[in-house]
Amino acid sequence: MNLRTTGAIAALFCMALLSACGNADDAAKNADGSDGEDKEETEQAAIPVEVAVARRGSIAAAWRGSATLEAEAEAEVVARASGIVESLSVEEGDTVSRGDVLARLDDDQLRIEVSRAKANMDKLTADFARAKQVYAEKIISLEAFDRIRFDLQAAKAAYDLAKLNLKYSTIRAPISGVVSARHIKVGNLVNVNTPAFHIIKFDPLLAVLHVPEREIYKLQRQQTADLRFDAYPGETFTGTVTRINPVVDPATGTVKVTVEMDDGAQPKLKPGMFGRVLIFYDRHDDTLIIPGEAIVTEDARDAVFVIKAGKATRTPVTVGFSQNGDVEILDGIDDNAVVVTTGQTSLREDSLVEFVDAPDNIPEAAKPPPKPENDEETEGESTETEQS
């Protein structure tokens, strides 16, 4: 091998060595750069969540169901005499008191019948007076005297009946309330028992509900109830349990429960309205409460995500009463625990989180630790060192 060949081989060897070193440096740089990018991505992977702080308060347990409003009293007013409707005194929506005149029928014929019945009674009264005198003198028999006496009694009854029919020609309100329907018009011919008006007594209004027999033990008289109706969204009406039927309906397996609405409901609520009812049967004071949307249920087990040092930890809890969107926590978390209310579906164990619209009372222990100020300088120095 000559000198020229040996020099060429040495030159190729040096070039290969330099190329290998360059590739190793590039690989190391790429590895370092990739690690830095992964680290940066990890630090930026905080998940935005909304949170709430567990607090102490009072919460009540309630039976939930539906109810239909009914009036305490209502009456279908019918004509008790026959005749032509001569006048109307009320219209639908008018408030009436018991005994008020609702309508009058043509009573000319009835007045004539009263006069005729009275005349017949007066005649028999005079006949009886004479018969009584002659009977005392033994001029007429006892049979003739009894006949006149009985005729007089029948005449008096006929007179009373004629007066009663005349009285019935005026249709009056049997109860106090509001006229909800008018079935007759002026000029109509009505007969006995023809429906004329419908009157409803609105005060008090009653909410009637049917409770399954397995839950009736929760309810008793004087318990407070809240009712809501679609006609008045966002408004709550209150009432009190006043009646619990002692018998279970065998056809439905339910017990009829009546709630009397408190004063003030009548101007807005009407019989026949359908509403949702809550009857409060128990209450816990000074208990731990969190928003109900914080509860995550999986495989029939309840849990919440608790935030500590900016990280989410799934924590099993035992749930108690619920009311108005809040739930009672019997076991699992402590006072002032910070729980996630929105964003749980994106969380995993020890996920980094970022607070959105966070309340002011978040404890410091839940917040992420502050980032060191010299992080950027340290990273810059490391980069320079690697390049050199």
Assigned superfamily of 63-70+203-284: Efflux pump adaptor protein, beta barrel domain (2.40.30.170)
Domain boundaries defined on the chain: 47-57+286-366, 63-70+203-284, 107-168
* Per-residue pLDDT at 366: 82
**Residue 263: per-residue pLDDT:** 77
What was the pLDDT predicted at 266?
67
Low-confidence residues of the chain: pLDDT under 50: 1-34, 36-37, 39-42, 44, 382-388
Please give the pLDDT value at position 86: 95
Q: What pLDDT is recorded for position 380?
A: 52
Cα distance between residue 210 and residue 68, in whole Å: 10
What local confidence, expressed as pLDDT, does residue 375 receive? 52
| Same fold: 47-57+286-366 with 107-168 | no
pLDDT at 388: 43
pLDDT tens digits, 263-283:
776 678 888 899 999 999 999
Q: What CATH number belongs to 47-57+286-366?
A: 2.40.420.20
pLDDT of residue 113: 95
- Is 1.10.287.470 the CATH classification of the domain at 107-168? yes
Quick one: pLDDT at residue 2? 43
Task: Provide the pLDDT for residue 385.
Answer: 46
